[in-house]
Structure 1
Amino acid sequence: MLVEAPAAISTIALKSTIPFDKIVILSNKDEGKWNQFERFLQKRMAIANRPNQDIQVYKAHIDSPIDYQSISKVTDQWISKLSDEADTLSINLTSGTPTMTTLSVLIGKGKSNTRFLQSNPSNDVIEVEIPLDFANAYIQSASKGIAAKATSQPNLYRAFDQLTSHSDAMKTAIKKAQKIATSEVPALILGETGTGKELMANAIHQGSLRVQKPLRIVNCGALAENIVDSTLFGHKKGAFTGADKDHPGLFEQADGGTLFLDEVGELPLNVQVKLLRVLQQGEITRLGDTKSINVDVRIIAATHQDLPLLVSQGQFREDLFYRLAVGIIEMPALRNRIEDIPLIVDQLVDQINQAGIKHPSYTSKKVSDKGINFICSQPWQGNIRELWSTLNRAFLWSESTEIDTDDIANSLLKRQKNHLKHKMTMSMNDKVDIVQITDEIQKNYVLAALKASGNVKKKATEMLSLKDHQTLTNWMKRLNIDTDK
């Protein structure tokens, strides 16, 4: 830089066959010249008509230029981070000490999307093929990537980019969400597990006037009772053992924006009182403090529980319920939005294939039309989350490139049903037709089993724990169920 001469970094940046949209330089010396070097390299890249907006020197916290332990820590941290973010990560082997180069190769070869570059004294760029077998590390990395995707939440944002849907149930929910988004009222999102309540909360925030402000998310059911207060409202130094400094809670972090309280029904009653105060007065008090802090936060809450029932049982404050339940959105279960299922399946299949494609032995797969029809016939009590897990299992077990009905059926979780656990009560003058009630229950279960099995009586018989195929046929006749269906 000082003599306007080319060296490894500028040579590779200017001559690489693949232009870099991001350049990260690690250094532990000459910190006063970093800004000057960034400008120098940006100027050269701009003249060459190459990307130049994201070039930055970062501090490498190492003990010495030959200390393997500290260099390994920094190298692994940066290569792992950039490899996860990038389609292709190029690593410069020319600059730095032999220790740095060695660790760059060892760690970089364990990633599936890295390439290695170096320059010679003539300022030529050479792509280096490392003649070592790192296949095991590569496969392990790719396999962990597949596993991480399979156990994470499916990403369905593309399905709701324009807040549209094919099913009437989702159109109704989205129409309400659009109106709520542009208002400042609290929102309460209801629905079964896995219906996409967090996704809807994100959509409401993105469609609101607070979109440029923070969105903070917390699962109230995942917080230990002794840290809920501190997490939401913050704490002062010394408020409890281990509180060695002041900590702003989520309300302060979300000031001006939105706070999404998932599974709000899990909040302890003492915290519900403080939440009510925020909604009423717009102020909080940190744990261990006496001073109130004003906050401007919009609350979006969600739960799969029956809040009115919790109110009647004294487990949820009635006044808080009415404060939250202004803009109510009910997320439909997957079984009630059949028209959306083919699109959702396509998106989930694409995500599974994208996660697996870097694995050397992976072959992309798809779901057959019959498979999609079978999916549409299932109740999906875990909704999209259950569908996501089932598809991951089907893709894992199947040897075929096309996932069919049997693959999906064999990947479904088996549940032992018993819905009659609740205690029945009757007053002295009450009267019921017990035969009619039991007939209706039997008929509903037979119809459900036939639907889930695709009208395969053998399978429906197993699902209902009946003695044999003829027993099911007799039941269907007795219950006036069309045997030709």
Structure 2
Amino acid sequence: MNILLTWLGNKDLDNMELDQSAAIVTLATKSSQPFNKIVILSNQQEQKWHRFELFVQKRMATIGRPAEDIKIYNADIVSPIDYSSIATVTEKWISKLSEEADSLCINLTSGTPAMTTLSVLIGKGKANTQFVQTTPKNEMIYVDIPIDFGQEYVKSASKNIANTATSEPKIEQAFSKLTAKSVQMQNVVNKAKKIAASEVPALILGETGTGKELMATAIHKGSLRANKPLKVINCGAFAENLVDSTLFGHKKGAFTGAEKDHPGLFEQADGGTLFLDEVGELPPEIQVKLLRALQQGEINRLGDTQTTNVDVRVIAATHKDLSKLVEEGKFREDLFYRLAVGIIQMPALRERIEDITVIVNQLVEQINKAASKHPDYISKNISEKGIKFILSQPWQGNIRELWSTLNRAFLWSDSQTITENDLSSAMINRAKNESFTDVTLSYDDKLDITQLVDKYKKAYILAALKASGNVKSHAAQMLNLKDHQTLSNWMKRLNIKHEK
């Protein structure tokens, strides 16, 4: 049995009044295989239903096709664009008719986009369905939709998880929502608020992964320029000529490939803020142009002699020691002092212990939210011992390292609860730089070498115990000791107490 399922469109009814064919009649009369049954769904203009049934039957009869089983059924939907009720009706009829039919054709021309979309999504799940539609010239087309929606959905959900895991953690981007339970971070935020209220340039210092861009965004949002653009550039990510063009723009013909005038980030950020991340990477020639922009509010596009005035507040950031770069002649001293007006030193994660649990909870929520769209994903949490393990780590890569570690632990674990063992397995072992400075002694110098060695032993034992969560066996392995009993003997001699 060959069955046609279709919604009743306004065009079908309008053309009936003109005694002309539209989608339904075209499909009924031109299909390569005649339909034994035509099911039409509608929820409006019921007074015209009987006339339309007769209209289709007459057209079928004139060409000798079956016309006995053509009927319009009431579709109990809220509106022609209500996806929920349309889905219910569509599922009901497609399931019913696909069981009856050898071949079920679904019309994609008549009805609203919501009706068409749901017909495709639900119909693709049935093995004996095919889709048909008509052209404006009443030609019939069989439609091939070569997509496995289930597989594409899982692929899309998986890609979303991957994109979120490799992106920066979006903690919160306003001062009122910055994680600042620790005294260190509260002091930083208070300084940043004062800087935001002024128009001075700002320089944000701190290790990689401490949230310098997040702080720059907060300063912009807390300033009088908040409703103007915020433009961001990583100064170390471009070749010198591209940095010049990206920051200051270029004229047509300035270099090969410059086919039209291009405004740089300074012009795009006019009235707003420009964030220069890794400003220490700027080459000397660009430093000169940046200094002029800061001092005089003027720029020149690459290849242009005309000066352009800009009103831009600059916030710069770096993980490098700019003072040292100035001493080495790699960064202009006058530019350093021009930038270093409002200085913010971002604390390392290990220096703000009180904030870590809050940050972990925020990151866990983000990971679970991103992964929740995957059909097989189970929401996870971290055990109490897992939190203690996190608090014991140095996090040299700061929030960025914590973010990637949590993503790995959540990915590898099949349990609802992430343990300290899961987190330990997800950690990346980093090679330590154990540089040794040459020791020099004067003829009359005296020292207690045993005390000196014990001092280093004690420091490393305490560090190993902290990193291992006070697990002696693991700490002994870290220190390359024979066993935990050897470690215990050392601890006893050095008067180190073991916290369980």
Classify the TM-score, shorter chain.
0.7 to 0.9
Equivalent residue, structure 1, for 2:469: 454
CA change 1:295–1:158 in 2 (3 A) is closer
The match for 2:245 is 230
> Among 54, 68, 81, which residue is 1:16 paired with?
81
Change in CA separation of 1:6 and 1:461 when aligned onto 2, cut-off 3 Å: farther
Equivalent position of 1:359 in the other structure: 374
Q: Which residue of 2 aligns with 1:193?
A: 208
Provide closer, same or farther for how the CA distance between residues 18 and 343 of structure 1 changes in structure 2, counting only shifts above 3 A. farther
Residue of structure 2 in register with 1:374 after alignment: 389
Change (3 A) 1:449 1:280: same
In the alignment, structure 1 residue 286 sits paired with structure 2 residue 301: yes
- CA gap 1:442/1:276 in 2 versus in 1, 3 angstroms: farther
Per the alignment, residue 6 of structure 2 pairs with none
Q: TM-score, normalised by structure 1?
A: 0.72
Greater shift after overlay, 389-398 or 409-418?
409-418
Question: 2:175 touches 2:193 (CA, 8 Å); kept in 1?
Answer: no
Q: RMSD of the TM alignment (CA)?
A: 3.6
User: Residue 349 of structure 1: CA displacement?
Assistant: 0.9
Equivalent residue in structure 2 for 1:213, among 217, 228, 246: 228
Once the two structures are TM-superposed, the CA of residue 246 in structure 1 deviates from its matched residue by: 0.9
Q: 2:219 aligns with which of 204, 217, 229?
A: 204
Distance in 2 (CA, whole Å) between partners of 1:254 and 1:109 is 48
Pick aligned residue for 1:264 from 276, 279, 282: 279
**Contact persistence 1:477–1:483 (CA under 8 A):** no
Structure 1 residue 480: Cα displacement: 3.5
Residue 207 to residue 483, structure 1, CA distance change in 2 (3 Å)? closer
Alpha-carbon separation, structure 1, partners of 2:244 and 2:386: 47
Residues 151-184 of structure 1: CA distance to partner in whole angstroms, max 9, x if unpaired?
A: 1111111685444621111101100000000000
Q: Deviations over 1:271-300 (max 9, x none)?
A: 111111111111111111111111111010
How far is the alpha carbon of 1:227 from its aligned partner? 0.9
Matched residues, number:
387
**In 1: Cα distance, 2:403 partner to 2:152 partner:** 27
Report the secondary structure of 1:157's partner residue.
coil
The answer on 1:178 being equivalent to 2:193 is: yes
Distance 1:357 1:316, change over 3 A: same
Rounded Cα–Cα distance in structure 1 between residues aligned with 2:446 and 2:309:
57
Q: For 2:346 and 2:419, how far apart are their aligned partners in 1?
A: 29
Alignment match, 2:354: 339
CA distance in structure 2 between the partners assigned to 1:480 and 1:240 by the alignment? 70
Q: 2:470·2:499 contact (CA, 8 Å) conserved in 1?
A: no
Which letter maps to 1:134?
A: F
Distance, in Å, in 2 between the alignment partners of 1:383 and 1:184 is: 30
> What do residues 206-247 of structure 1 show as CA deviations (whole Å, max 9, x unaligned)?
000111111000011111223111111111111111111111
8 Å CA contact 1:164–1:174 kept in 2: the answer is no
For 2:204 and 2:363, the matched residues in 1 are separated by 23
Asked whether the equivalents of residues 109 and 138 of structure 1 are also in contact (C-alpha less than 8 Å), the reply is no
Are the equivalent residues in 1 in contact too, given 2:201–2:313 (CA < 8 A)?
Answer: yes
- Match of residue 434 from structure 2: 419
Q: CA deviation at 1:319?
A: 1.3
Amino acid of the structure 1 residue aligned with 2:390: I
Alignment of 1:57-206 (within 5 A): 94=109, 105=120, 134-157=149-172, 160-163=175-178, 165-206=180-221
Q: Could you tell me whether the CA contact under 8 Å between 1:159 and 1:344 is conserved in 2?
A: no
Give the counterpart letter for 1:216 in structure 2.
Answer: K
Deviation of the 1:14 alpha carbon: 5.2
Offset, 1:428? 6.6
1: distance between equivalents of 2:444 and 2:344?
A: 37
Query: Of 385, 395, 398, which residue of structure 1 is paired with 2:410?
Result: 395
Structure 1 residue aligned with 2:18? none
Aligned mates of 2:434, 2:218 — CA distance in 1: 35
2:331 pairs with 1:316: yes
Given that 2:173 and 2:218 are in contact with CA atoms closer than 8 Å, whether structure 1 keeps it comes out as no
Listed one character per residue, the Cα deviations across residues 418-452 of structure 1 (whole Å, up to 9, x for unaligned) are: 3325x547597895848355543332222111111
Is the Cα–Cα contact under 8 Å of residues 246 and 264 in structure 2 kept in the other structure?
yes
TM-score, length of structure 2 as denominator length: 0.70
Structure 2 CA distance for partners of 1:173 and 1:97, relative to 1, 3 Å = closer
Say which SS state the counterpart of residue 328 (structure 1) adopts: strand
CA distance in 1, matches of 2:355, 2:172: 14
Q: Deviations for 1:81-135, whole angstroms, at most 9, x for unmatched residues?
A: xxxxxxxxxxx9547999xx79x958x989xxxxxxx9xxxxxxxxxxx999532
1:353-395 Cα deviation digits (max 9, x unpaired):
1111111111111112221121111111111111111111111
Paired residues of 1:250 and 1:259 also in contact (CA < 8 A): yes
Residue 282 to residue 365, structure 1, CA distance change in 2 (3 Å): same
Preserved contact between residue 247 and residue 265 of structure 2 (Cα < 8 Å) = yes
Which amino acid is the alignment partner of residue 362 of structure 1?
A: Y
Q: Tell me the distance in 2 between the aligned counterparts of 1:235 and 1:438.
A: 61
Q: CA deviation at 1:13?
A: 10
Q: Does 1:247 align with 2:247?
A: no
Calculate percent identity across the aligned residue pairs: 67
Distance 1:313 1:479, change over 3 A: farther
Contact 1:256/1:296, CA 8 A, preserved across alignment: yes
**Bigger CA radius of gyration:** 2
Report SS of the residue matched to 1:363. coil
> Quick one: distance in 1 between partners of 2:238 and 2:488?
51
CA contact 2:175–2:222 (8 Å) conserved in 1: no
Matched, 1:306 2:306: no
CA shift, 1:471, in A, is: 3.5
In 1, the alpha carbon distance for the partners of 2:109 and 2:463 equals 67
SS in 1 for 2:203: strand
User: For residues 200 and 359 of structure 2, what CA distance do their matches in structure 1 show?
Assistant: 30
Gaps of 5+ in 1: 20-91, 111-117, 119-129
